Structures are given as structure tokens and as C-alpha cells.
Amino acid sequence: MTDSFSVGWDPRAILDDATAMGAMRCLGEGIRAHGFLNVNATVEGPVGLIDLAAGKPVEGDVAAQWLGGPDAVDALVATGGAERTHEGMVTLRFEVLSGAGGVAVLPRPGLLADEVYSSSDSWVLLEMAWRFGLGGDRAVDLGTGTGLVATFLTSRYQRVQATDILPVAVDTAALSRELLDDDRRERLALSVNDVAAGLTTGTFDLVVANTPWVPSPMAGRQTYADGGPTGFELPLRFLIEGAKLLSERGRLVLLCADLRYTDGRAPLWEALDRLARHGFTYEVETTPRTKTMSFEAQDAPNYMDDLEAAAHVAVMVYRP
């Protein structure tokens, strides 16, 4: 049995409480001190920190050690960032994703935080950003979700912008930012944007995006998954608007679905050919996905009957 707390995930409540924010920064210090340990892996390190960051229950004094004291723990509980049992155990209501210098807050499943996305393809995008984001002045992570990739980019770019159309995702990414050191924290700015709306064209050395690609009727109420009627309408916007953001030496790294239809249509390749006619260069790689794509399932709706093949891919686009 636990003390009372808010039902949903409300990162804004934590952001607005100075003591709770201090707890987040203390947690970040511990994670950074151990090399951005991946708390989801079996690693050697301080067991109390690993369990706490993985969202597992720890003794109250252990939580206080890593969060900056009893008052900090109380503040996180009061703002919905943690819960305490009557036995004195403390559990964060999120887990910390970390590795390769990126770090992010992922709300615990079941907290009505389904609009804050992170899955195996988030790590695929992080790997692609590692390969192709070689450093520079400005980078942007469109549809940032938890902010995992954006926090990594602060290790290579002087200024990083992270955007999402969902305020709860932007606020969650703002919590992720608090886990960084002062220098990298100051490099990261966050904003609510519809894809690239409001961003200055031709000014980013790197643009990354993990686009929604599930057809709307199959996405349910999950905004982060909804790619439009066929699943490619929104990825097309990310592709075209993202390319317009690129500086003279810029590159775009984008994850999406490559859909092939029985009548010969291939929307991704048609869009890439249009970019090529404007002088852009591109590469496409199939990703090592581990999940079956929704429209490949046996119970997929019959309106997808004209879909011949689908693959999850990474697209790289370069300025002329």
C-alpha cells in the first residue's frame, strides 16, 4: 500500500517544484558519475542507484542518498515523481534510460503517459545519431518524446533544439534535461512544435526524427504512433520539412516505414526522388527491428490489402 499521489503523469508538477528539481539533478549526478550506466543492463555499479533509476523499490535512506536527502524524496512524492509505501520503501514513477551519453526519463507504464514515446527504435535512432551526427553548431530532434536522442546530441553540438507536438512529451524531455551537467543542460532548448513549424530553415547541421508510421485507424489514441491515413502522410512531412531545415553541410537522419503497394506505388522513394531532383543526396538502410509491424499482422484491416511489403528503414538526406 502506498501514500496518496496523482493518478497520471504530470511532469510539469515536478518542473515547478525547486526541491523536486534538485532531486532530479542529484539523480543525474549519480548516473553521470558511473558513466551513464545503462540501468536496463546487467552492469557493475552501486546497486541502490541502479535499482532506483530502474524504477524498483529501494529503502528510504538509499533513495535519500541518491536524491539529495529526505526533503528531496518528500518533494518527489508530493509532485507525483515517486511513491512511498507505509513500509518506507521508495519507488520512482519513472525509469531512467541511459547509455552512450544520452539520458532520459521514461514514465512508468500505466500512468496515462502513453503519449511519451520510447521503444527499441529510439535506440536505433540514437545509434544513427552517433554514426552521422559528427558534431557542429546546431542540431534538432523533431518529435523528441523522452528527449533521449536530444540529450545525447548535447555532447556534440553547441545548440540543440528538441521539439514535440505534445506538451507532456516536451515536459518529460525537460525532466530528462535536468539529468545532464550544467554545460550540456544549457545547450538544450525545448519547445512545442508541429513537426518543423516555427523553426528557421537552412540553419541546422543535423536533423533527426523518429517518425510515427502507424495508419490512423490502427494507431488508436496514441498520437506518437499515428502517421496519417496510410501511415506515411506524417513521415512525409518530417522528411520534406526536415530537409528544408538543413544547413549547407547539414544532414537529416529519419526513421520511417517503407511501404510498397501492389500497383507499384512506393511513397518513400517517390518523395526521395523529388528531393534528388532538387539536388539532395540520400541513403536508405533497413533497420534491425525486433517487432512485427502492425500492418503485417494476420488481423490487419482489409483496407491494407493493396500493401505488398513494408520495412522499417533509416533515411539519410544530405544537402547538395
**C-alpha–C-alpha distance, residues 299 and 277, integer Å:** 39
Q: What is the third-level CATH fold of 111-318?
A: Rossmann fold (3.40.50)
Q: Residue 93 class from Cβ within 10 Å (0-12 exposed, 13-18 middle, 19+ buried)? A: buried
Please tell me the pTM assigned to this model: 0.90
Domain with CATH 3.40.50.150 in the chain: 111-318
Backbone angles phi, psi at 156, to 5 degrees: -130, -15
CA distance 216 to 208: 23
pLDDT number for residue 229 = 85
Q: What angle do CA 168, 106, 75 make, to 5 degrees?
A: 75
pLDDT in tens, the chain (320 residues): 344 444 578 999 999 999 999 999 999 999 998 876 554 444 556 778 989 999 999 999 999 999 999 999 999 999 999 999 888 899 999 999 988 889 999 998 765 555 787 788 899 999 999 999 999 999 999 999 999 999 999 999 999 999 999 999 999 999 999 999 999 999 999 999 999 999 999 999 999 999 988 887 787 777 877 788 888 899 999 999 999 999 999 999 999 999 898 998 999 999 999 999 999 999 999 998 655 665 555 555 555 678 888 889 999 999 87
DSSP string covering 195-216, please? TTTTSPTT-EEEEEEE---B-H
Q: What pLDDT is attached to residue 3?
A: 45
Instruction: Give me the pLDDT at residue 16, please.
Output: 98
Q: What's the pLDDT score for residue 217?
A: 78
